[in-house]
Amino acid sequence: MQIYEVQQGEAQLIKEVQDKNLEVSGTPVFSVKAHKEIINSIDGVGGLGIGDGAPEIVTGSRDGHAFNDQDRCVCAGYDNGDIKLFDLRNMSLRWETNIKNGVCCVEFDRKDINMNKLVATSLEGKFHVFDMRTQHPTKGFSSVSEKNATLSTQPIASLDWSPDKKGLCVCSGFDQTVRVLIVTKLSQV
């Protein structure tokens, strides 16, 4: 196993590990102090045996996408309402928007297909769904937002789509509940 770090757009080999049993806890394979504050989330993409892309781990952001070698993106949500989509190939900002309230979670619908839908949840309990298939040069991605008071009176902290069933997802809220959801009419977004 080889561990690389990207510095100023260049991949540098940090460590090479031989015959490490990852099932046995103990000494970590690799450890790095990458953040000064709490890590809100960690996600991995690529290397799944479906689609393309090398295995990558992202910390501090909300989601990653690496379906193929041409489309390697990471999406991050911030407490000021900003959502930013970073292009890892070009090391640049590809798209950004603001949903006017703190972002709790961003999630692509699936990791094994081209970018399709992106869901963002906010502190006010809103869902924002972005259609990632078509990007307008000035207006960005088309989107809809919905505040469903019957879902939760508190913000939705996380959301994850089922890889097996279209429209099936699970979310957790600040009210300490976990909900299983079935989302319909996804083709209309």
Q: What are the backbone angles phi and psi of residue 53, rounded to the nearest 5°?
A: 110, 145
On whether residue 11 sits in a domain, the answer given is yes
Q: Which residues lie across from 5 on neighbouring strands?
A: 12
pLDDT given at position 80: 92
Do the domain assignments include residue 105?
yes
Domain with 94, as residue range(s), is 2-20+37-188
How many domains does the chain contain in total? 1
28 is a domain residue: no
Beta-strand ranges (E) seen in 27-81 are 42-45, 56-59, 63-68, 71-77
Residue 151, in any domain of the structure: yes
* Domain of residue 93, CATH code: 2.130.10.10
User: Which token pair is 49?
Assistant: 């045996």
Q: Is residue 29 part of a domain?
A: no
Could you say which DSSP state residue 164 is in? Answer: S
> What type of residue is 143?
S
Q: Does residue 131 fall inside a structural domain? A: yes
Q: Per residue in 67-119, pLDDT tens?
A: 555 667 788 888 899 999 888 778 788 899 999 988 888 888 776 677 788 88
pLDDT of 36 strictly over 70: no
Q: Which of 47-61, 62-76, 136-150 has the highest mean pLDDT?
A: 136-150
Mind listing the pLDDT tens digit for each residue in 12-32? Answer: 777 776 665 666 666 666 666
178 has a pLDDT exceeding 70: yes
Confidence (pLDDT) at 62: 38
The torsion angles phi and psi of 183, rounded to 5 degrees, stand at: -100, 125
The answer to whether 120 touches 99, Cβ cutoff 8 Å, is yes
Among 60, 81, 63, 62, smallest CA distance to 72 is for: 63
**Tokens read off for 92:** 């640049």
Interatomic CA distance for residues 97 and 134, integer angstroms: 15
Taking the C-alpha atoms of residue 178 and residue 167, their distance in angstroms, rounded to an integer, is 17
